[in-house]
Each structure stands twice: as structure tokens, then as C-alpha cells.
Amino acid sequence: QVQLVESGGGLVQAGGSLRLSCAASGSIESINTMGWYRQAPGKQRELVALITSGGNTNYKDSLKGRFTVSRDGAKKTVWLQMNSLRPEDTAVYLCYLRRNVLGIEYWGQGTQVTVSS
């Protein structure tokens, strides 16, 4: 059973920073993609950032430069560094894992990020 557990969300003032963490457990191949999506109330879930096991990244264009995704060498933890936060960044941020060999996706429960003006 693959599980993803996020942490690091909270309330922050506009212009501040947060770092989210996601730890994966279970049987996971080394070839995979991990990252973050977010969903605000009444909005569709949208890509924030992804990172492959090879270190290639993919960001939502409007977030590139403010947000940075990274992962550890063991390939089981992914972080999202969020800088210069804006109220429109307020959302539930969900960890994402794709086991590329099998084409199976997993989602964490999400962590709330609230940015005050």
C-alpha cells in the first residue's frame, strides 16, 4: 500500500514563505514522478510542480520563479519551497506520485496553505 503524507502547511502573510514536505511509503519503483497539485474552493485541481526521479521539473508557468520543487536521493520525499506567497496561492496542496512503470497515480490527503493579505 503506497501512502503519501504531507506536512508544512499553515497560515502565512503575503510575501512570506512556506516549505511543504511529502513522504512516501510502500512499494515504489525508483522510476517515478512526484510533486504537487493544488485545489482552491470552487476551482479545479491544478498542477503546481512535478519532478521526475531523474530530476527533471515541470512547473505551472505562473509559479515558476516563486516555487521550487525538489526531492531527496532516496526518491521517497518531495518538497515544495514556496516564496513570495500571494493570497491567490491559498489552496489545499496535494502530494502526487506516479509510478511510471505501472502508470498508477497516488494522492496525499492534502495540506492547507492560507495566505493572508
> Does the pLDDT of residue 58 top 80, yes or no?
yes
Q: Encode pLDDT of 93-104 as tens digits.
A: 999 999 999 999
Q: Model confidence at 52, in pLDDT bands (50, 70, 90)?
A: very high
Helix (H, G, I), strand (E, B) or coil at 87: helix
104-107 vs 46-52, strand pairing mode: unpaired
Over the chain, what is the mean pLDDT? 95
